[in-house]
Structure 1
């Protein structure tokens, strides 16, 4: 592949100070002035002053250089109970501690090379090593948690981005709908347009950009990490306090004495106060209400309506449609009825007339206060985006010539695995499958190569003695001080609510 777009950084095509990562060996009969980039399997042929298709590697006078600066995190060191302020000067002050992230670091391709940076540092008088790299991930996906009661689509329904199939609807969880997006089958197992759309969607999602998705037979949604989801053009505001039954139980005592019956509409479990055990324990007399749907345990009803974007995630816009009627042997004129959703966004008050028909009435102030309490207990709706990647294969060779040694050290909790400095969850079982919240990662952490695959940062931090024991590339270690003297790097302040990734790990007892 010939080179892609030009880089426009600094005063010219590249920053004034660049770092030569590797001297490319031009293949025979390559046109004069071009070099072959071997940072990924695409093998772009790059002219002098241009970048490859990924815009991350460039050619300067025959040298293959990293265009993006490597990102280091810095924080003030603690001194007793006080924090030592950042010092003025050249960035090498002893009052600061530094962690080198994989953002902009580069890859190990073609796989036999050590990681781009293997960095020695000291933490709490302990010698530490961080193996810093970017992984080329084909086996990766995003798990997206969408806080909503609205119907998004049937479980396993295809999800489309720019018209291409890029994922599917997963299970519904408590107040949320899970989506699975990306994955190797969409990246490499379908058509070229499907692979290109998938990698574009994944890179934008990982870099905290909004993406528009359409669920087959369901909703159109916009998701962005850490922001409210937008369902069919309407931003979600509240995550429900509980299902209909739980809402009944939570607020039963607060309704007692103010109303004779409460129905909490919910697509999954609709609650009815006087039939529910909470109402029984409060000695509330039966109201004679007759509900639609399928009765489960007392006061709990399934399938009260079809799923939708109406009250409580049902397709009801008229809440009275959930009722069949009232038993004339039990109900009475004047009976007070409240119907609400699980978030309190929808609520209405009725009283039965002489024909035992519910008639809408103004909401009594005391009941309105309880509806406000429901809303108060609803957390803000968010879209949570988790990156899941299998860090196996060649990536481990950047740390050691015996890749399984790294896996074993991680399982033995000798190694701290981070992505962009952010803690990861390492899944049990074989391999190194990591999961990380992209909202906590540095901006623009994700890139791509047009194979297609996602490029994501990953770091392995451990004690120097443990790195030596697993057969690490000891001759490739550089000090963090030397790296800081390299002009082509970027410093960012550490987020104080995240654990500092250089804290020494403890060997199992």
Structure 2
């Protein structure tokens, strides 16, 4: 290898091996494509240009902002000519960097720069992840499907339903067993689904025994063709607690219908504290604590995530010894999207009536307090394999350094959560990465950027590839003109800031 890690020969040797007739073998994944001149490999991410293996996408550089003339100006505008960028305010991401899989060679870029007086090294690569998936949080009051039910893309199983959290349904998509443990088609469809979700594209999923949902990061879910609007303000009991005082004097009873915990105001502790008169209206289901009922109906896409369209179906009985004619009853869902005002007649039968303005205002406030319904996609991957050998000759020391917080991990410059315990398992919000950050190879596996940033002295102690380190200024001259330049997102921590021992972004 050339003494200059940035020379064309050195770069070509990092990514593949030349064969006869101008063919280049790509070893970026186990497929080992033999690529003819002018052609691309099966993943379309690597191509043969003049007998050298090159990445087809440009490297993505992030640029910090500086104050100029009283305003913040990002380095690296679209017409950047390769001059004037401050190396201390530039971060090289793994997007477009390429990979040296299976990492018997050092990572594509090992970059030295100085930040806040600390000389740092950032090891930049694209990981090929067979051990990966996404966790999807879907803000909806609707019941999407039973826990542990299979999630399908087309006819192929690509994941499963996990728990229902506070106002959200959780799905787990992907994982090594779907990528490699089933049929070839299952692996391919799983990989395609993961790539779509990580790239911010919509994915249509169907849940066994449940419903169809279109998931797209940062967008509202679409359940059975209907876009969701609101995430519940709380369960039925919480809704009662929040708005009890605002209903006082305007309603004699309020029932907040919810698949999980239905709330009944006058029985609830909130109604007791306010001194409300018992209303004698008993709802179906299993009584938990006063004013809190479980299992009032089956799960579904109706009122409060139940299967009912008529809320009166959950009323089991009205006690004539307690209730009275003229009793004012509000029934509402936890999002306020469903609401019904009723008045008991002489036979104590609930009769629909026009909702008073004061009650209508509180129902509107329930909706106001509901956050917009969104889908969140978190990419989760294990980076504990050969990828570490591209960083250091002693991989376990890298793992320990990451766990201790001395080495910061980012993905495309975006912050990640590093899971405690063994290995390097990271989780990142896909919307915080630059666009087109993910790719795929036909093994099948997902390709994602990953960067390790640490003090240079620590990198030397870890057994890092010091002979491959290049200065940021040199790298900018070499790859800057053809790179993709983006301004750093202010909501992301500046990725090259020295990490304090003990972790943290």
TM-score by length of 2: 0.93
Q: Partner of 1:5 in structure 2?
A: none
- Quick check: 1:285 aligned with 2:274? no
Q: 1:163 to 1:266 in 2, by over 3 A?
A: same
Matched with 2:179 is 187
Note if 1:499 corresponds to 2:488: no
Q: Does 1:216 align with 2:208?
A: yes
* 1:125 shift after superposition: 2.3
Say whether the 8 Å CA contact 2:15–2:99 is kept in structure 1: no
| Equivalence for 2:119 | 127
Matched, 1:68 2:60: no
Which residue number in structure 2 is paired with residue 406 of structure 1?
Answer: 398
Q: Which has the higher mean CA deviation after the structures are superposed, 51-60 or 102-111?
A: 102-111
Looking at structure 1, the residues matched to 315 and 74 of structure 2 have their Cα atoms a distance apart, in angstroms, of: 65
Distance of 1:102 and 1:291 partners within structure 2? 57
Aligned twin of 2:227: 235
Distance in 2 of aligned mates of 1:471 and 1:24: 24
Q: Deviation per CA, 1:219-275, whole angstroms, max 9, x where unpaired? A: 100000111111111111111111000100110000000010000000000000011
Distance in 1 between residues matched to 2:239 and 2:180, nearest whole Å:
45
Instruction: Provide the aligned C-alpha RMSD in A.
Output: 1.9
Inter-CA distance 503–92: structure 2 relative to 1 (3 Å threshold)? same
Residue 379 of structure 1: SS of its match in structure 2? coil
For residues 110 and 270 of structure 1, the distance between their equivalents in structure 2, rounded to whole angstroms, comes to 54
Q: Which runs of 5+ in 2 are unaligned?
A: 1-9
CA distance in 2, matches of 1:81, 1:431: 45
- Asked if 1 retains the 8 angstrom alpha-carbon contact of 2:63 and 2:74, the reply is no
How many residue pairs get matched?
A: 489
CA distance 1:85–1:138, change in 2 (3 Å): closer
Q: Normalized per residue, which structure has more helix? A: 2
Note if 1:105 corresponds to 2:97.
yes
Q: Quick one: structure 1 residues 85 and 167, their matched pair in 2 at CA, closer, same or farther if it must change by over 3 Å?
A: closer
Contact kept, 8 Å, 1:39 with 1:109, in 2: the verdict is: yes
1:479, distance to aligned residue in structure 2 (A): 1.4
CA distance in structure 1 between the partners assigned to 2:502 and 2:300 by the alignment: 51
Distance change (3 Å), C-alpha of 1:263 and 1:152: same
Structure 1 segment 289-300 matched on structure 2, within 5 A: 289-300=281-292
Unpaired runs of 5+ residues, structure 1, are 1-17
Aligned ranges 1:326-405 → 2 under 5 Å: 326-405=318-397
Please give the alpha-carbon distance, in whole angstroms, between the structure 2 residues aligned to 1:504 and 1:162: 46
Q: Secondary structure at the match of 1:134?
A: strand
Aligned residue number for residue 26 of structure 2: 37
Q: Does 1:269 align with 2:258?
A: no
Report SS of the residue matched to 1:343.
coil
Cα distance in 2 for residues equivalent to 1:57 and 1:434: 26
User: Residues of 2 paired with 1:343 and 1:324: CA distance?
Assistant: 23
Q: Describe the shift of the 1:352–1:21 C-alpha distance in structure 2 as closer, same or farther (beyond 3 A).
A: farther
Residue 96 of structure 1: how far off its partner (Å): 6.9
TM-score normalised over the length of structure 1: 0.93
For residues 373-393 of structure 1, give each alpha carbon's deviation from its aligned partner in whole angstroms, at most 9, with x where no partner exists: 111110111100000000011
Q: Cα distance, 1:200 vs. partner? A: 0.4
Aligned counterparts of 2:369 and 2:97: Cα–Cα separation in 1: 44
1:163 equivalent in alignment to 2:155? yes
Identify if the C-alpha distance between structure 1 residues 372 and 191 changes in structure 2 by more than 3 Å, giving closer, same or farther. same
Q: Deviations over 1:458-495 (max 9, x none)?
A: 00001111111111100001111122112432111111
Task: Give distance in 2, aligned partners of 1:295 and 1:76.
Answer: 57
What does 1:452-471 correspond to in 2, within 5 Å?
452-471=444-463
Q: Provide the rounded CA distance (Å) in 2 between the counterparts of 1:431 and 1:208.
A: 28
- Alpha-carbon distance in structure 2 between the residues aligned to 1:344 and 1:331: 25
